[in-house]
Structure 1
Amino acid sequence: MSMYAGRCLLGDYLGSRGWSQRYLARLSGVPTSTVSDYIRNDSLMSLNHAKNIANVLGCNIDDLYEWVSD
């Protein structure tokens, strides 16, 4: 069974913490425009970005997306 990334949950994390995209960008080193792209599901996170963002949020990389099986 294969799994693929569905909806990005980053916006949910930011909302629950009351954080802005700009604040996450500053903490993680990921450009604000890129964070916005991820939240809009316009692109998938690179492994480096996912690792940095997960570290800042205190979660696992797998927690950043809904995972869908085929």
Structure 2
Amino acid sequence: MTVPFSSEIHTFHSGKPQPQTSSAAASTFQSIDPATGKPLATIYTTTARQLDEAVAAAEAAFPGWSQTPAPKRAA
């Protein structure tokens, strides 16, 4: 099986990737392949505001998601 891979990895919540911010608090780092020592991807860090939004989205989704049977969640 081939898994699609992006060379840029952004914060993901609420069912979609979140845009990179231009905030001074936003930064990136490289994910390195330990087998080759070569960069795999640029990882975008998240800001405190984005983290708060992700936590709020997860808390809002939890009641319905926790009541969904496992086979349906796996689909």
TM-score range, shorter-chain basis? under 0.3
Structure with the higher helix share, 1 or 2: 1
Structure with the higher strand share, 1 or 2: 2
Q: Which has the higher contact order (CA 8 A, sep 6+)?
A: 1
